[in-house]
A and B are shown apart, each in its own frame.
Chain A
Amino acid sequence: MELGFSTEDEAFRNEVACWMAEHLRGDFECLRHRGGPGDEDAYPAERKAWEQTLAAGGWTCVGWPTDHGGRGLSLARQIIFHEEYARAGGPGRMGHIGEGLIGPTILAFGTDEQKSRFLPGIVQGTEFWCQGYSEPNAGSDLANVQTKAHRDPGSGEWIINGQKVWTSLAHESEWIFVLARCEAGSVGNRGLVFLLVPLDQPGIEIRPIRQLTGTAEFNEVFFDGARTAPSNIIGQPGEGWSIAMALLGFERGVSTLGQQMHFYREFDLVCQVARDNGADRNPMFRARLAHAWMGLKVMRYNALRMLSGPQDGSLQRPAMIYKYYWSNWHRDLGKLAMDVLGVDGDIVVNDPVRTRLQQLFLFSRADTIYAGTNEIQLNIIAERALGMPREPRPSLG
């Protein structure tokens, strides 16, 4: 076991830091520490332009193979890149669904034609993607999707009818990948298809959802006879579920260390407020701040354990606890931030630190709901890691 990075890797760290310092300024100055979950509606146009600047520097898709436009970085260097990107205040990536989810899926399961059609737009930061999984009646029970897809007998095109929900950034994206039911009468995880669908067409309507934060970064996406070309299917009809699950396995956690940099910054802001208003002399706050800091340490080491484990897609224990741990930690930090602010926490003023902490408090309530609720996470841990009896799942055959 060893914690450090090699001298060459540390030189690479410096290279990333220098590049960020040179480029994240001028028109992009306003993007520092902006975007990402809870702040996805910030500066969308500037963040898309930033994606293209990143691409020009060769800093998109850094872990992808070079023959598909990636940088082919080792795991250690991907970690370093994400850390330095976040440390420099690099904005939440508009391209992360393309780069982290659908891109690797196309690399693994796509045809050569699909690779040459879709990967360059992701690498160059010119085409953005969103994820069409959840539906009003398919949340935790994702296999219960009811959106339907069938072939046009004449053209062979896929025709889609139904509704998706909680679709981040749909209003800023060109494409959506859709899990839909292609076999009439099928139930659960059988009879599904995985389709790539262009969003700019008459059969699709996108409606923003106003969140408890008052802002809107999720959407409902309605499909009413929407169409996509016969070639825009990943895998075969009926294989949708296995493709959909494989996609979720591609996020191996290299970006989690970048996420933790944001957490460190939020924690520092809470400490700063505590020092300013004297909460740092209250023993109860001191204990809670120390506890939060220990959680940051745990998350860092846990992520390093996760990345040191076998990279064969198998879910090791540090990976299985990760989502539950960070989301609950983050939610607690939001509450701590507001408690440290005290009565001021309720007052809305033009102060970026206070606004950020108020947003943290409100948005972090979503952390333990999206991407697998706390309750689903505990089921997964109990059943897959501890081998305990499974819950009945009528929709999983």
Chain B
Amino acid sequence: MDFALTSEQEMIRATAETFLADASPSAAVRRAMETEIGFDADVWNQVGKEFGWCAIAIPETFGGLGLTIIEQAILMEQMGRRLFCSPYFATACLAVPALLEVGTAAAREGHLPSIAAGEITATLAFGERGLDWDIDAVTATATPVAGGYSISGHFQHVPDGASAQLLLLPARIVGRDQVSLFAIPAATQGITTQPSMTIDATRRIAEVRLCELHAGENAIVSMPGNIGNGLARTSALAAIALAAEQLGAAQQCLDMTLAYIAERRQFGRPISSFQAVKHRCAEAMVRIEAARSAVLGAACAVAASPTTSTLMLESACAKTMASDCLFHCAVEAVQLHGGVGFTWEYDPHLYLKRAQASGQWLGNCDSLRERVAAILLDR
């Protein structure tokens, strides 16, 4: 039993912290927000190709580093602090676990090495409504035709859907009572992507439409029969990573607030000296440390015992604690910055928008609490 970071984990954390402080300050985030793809391709190349961040949770047999969700959470926390704009979440936290959870051997061998090497970005769509996995909500259809399938369908809320080079899309096979996951290169004819206008401009979301897209037999990447459970697990794993990102963002909300209120003076003293302000910051720290315990605990528990029951409970707990925590810290950051907290120029609004958007992803707090209640009470 040891909850302290290993020296390797500490190195990953410290490297990411230092790099992102330099590569993703507020000005860089704002520049990325204005671009079409939503991130700086040079910085992405650096973290993908030089640092191997996408390789973290990919097994060594597929060119990865063979590390765990713990290391991935450590990275995501640092990215969250800086609102690092990148396709990391879509690629490494959605597409990679999807391939590992439901992928055939050929699909893993075919796609994971190039993701691990940082050569391609990828994403996963859940269904027409997106946001979370629900096999019954899959409306896209794949009709068997000569040499493969003709796929039509509409997917909303696909993270980095317009920039990802590989899209993992679930579709219902016509004539068979079965949903399969297809891997479709973005350049395929019959696919159109439309970036959505988003309030949280630090993450790109797209609508993806397939219109009689022709896919070969080998476009199916899922093993028969396990997609329902496999993508539920994928969603839960991604929720832990997202919770880590939210944790980092919450910490930054508090840190930037502390810096501001130590400088801001009213009534002849720094406003940080007022007990009403101190207690609110202390309360924020309590929630951050509680969320940190939930996120680190979930990552450790899942790394040690990746059973579906553990995964579902732990991820629900981590994501709920982190979502609530980030929202609380973001609104406190706006409030404690006072008037400037309401401006575009200062950063709190970026965190507020990320808080609200990410809180709806992969299960909102109400649905995750109900997931836990069902496990606890309905037996």
Contact = CB atoms under 8 A, between A and B. Distances in A.
Nearest to B314: A297
A321 B321 CA distance: 15
Interface size bracket, A side: 35 or more
Contacts of A4: 1, 304
A396 interface: no
Interface size bracket, B side: 35 or more
Given A1-B2, A308-B2, A318-B289, A290 B272 contact: no
Interface stretch (B92-100, B158-166, B294-302): B294-302
A2 interface: yes
A382 B279 CA distance: 7
Contact of B281 (A305, A375, A386): A386
B370 interface: yes
A370 interface: no
B296 A301 contact: yes
A382 B3 contact: no
Interface string B347-379: 000000000000000000010011111101110
A1 B273 contact: no
A379 interface: yes
**Most chain B CB inside 10 Å of its own CB: which residue of A301, A375, A377:** A301
Contact of A274 (B9, B281, B320, B377): B377
A260 to B, nearest CB: 12
A271 B278 contact: no
B321 A386 contact: no
A318 B295 CA distance: 13
B369 A297 contact: no
Interface in A1-50: 1-5, 9
Interface string B135-172: 00000000000000000000000000000000000000
Contacts of A275: 377
A378 B279 contact: yes
Contacts of A325: 286, 290
A287 B370 contact: yes
Interface in B285-333: 285-286, 289-294, 296-297, 299-301, 304, 314, 316-317, 320-321
A76 B321 contact: no
Contact of A286 (B282, B304, B373): B373
A321 B291 CA distance: 12
Given A298-B294, A301-B293, A308 B369 contact: no
Contacts of A391: 275
Nearest to B272: A388
B376 A294 contact: no
Given A1-B9, A294-B294, A383-B278, A321 B270 contact: no
A317 interface: yes
A294 B290 CA distance: 10
Contacts, number: 150
Interface in A308-323: 308-309, 317-318, 320-321
A269 interface: no
Nearest to B379: A275
Contacts of A290: 369-373, 376
B174 interface: no
A11 to B, nearest CB: 15
A100 B99 CA distance: 52
A388 B258 contact: yes
B296 A294 contact: no
Contacts of A382: 278-279, 281-282
Contacts of A298: 290-291, 293-294, 297, 317, 321
Given A287-B369, A291-B369, A318-B293, A3 B282 contact: no
A321 B290 CA distance: 8
A320 B289 CA distance: 9
Contacts of B292: 305, 318
A339 interface: no
B373 A304 contact: no
Contact of A1 (B70, B285, B294): B70
Nearest to B74: A1
B373 A289 contact: yes
Nearest to A329: B290
A293 interface: yes
B106 interface: no
Given A2-B304, A375-B279, A289 B377 contact: yes
A291 B365 CA distance: 10
Contacts of B285: 317, 321, 381, 385-386
A389 interface: yes
17 contacts: A1-B6, A2-B2, A2-B3, A3-B301, A4-B304, A283-B370, A286-B373, A287-B369, A290-B372, A293-B372, A294-B316, A300-B297, A301-B3, A304-B3, A378-B279, A388-B258, A389-B270
The 8 closest A-B pairs by CB, nearest first: A301-B297, A308-B3, A382-B278, A286-B373, A389-B273, A381-B282, A290-B372, A301-B293
Given A297-B314, A301-B296, A381-B282, 18 more contacts: A274-B377, A286-B373, A287-B369, A287-B370, A290-B371, A294-B317, A297-B297, A298-B293, A301-B294, A302-B290, A318-B293, A321-B286, A321-B290, A381-B286, A382-B282, A386-B278, A386-B281, A388-B262
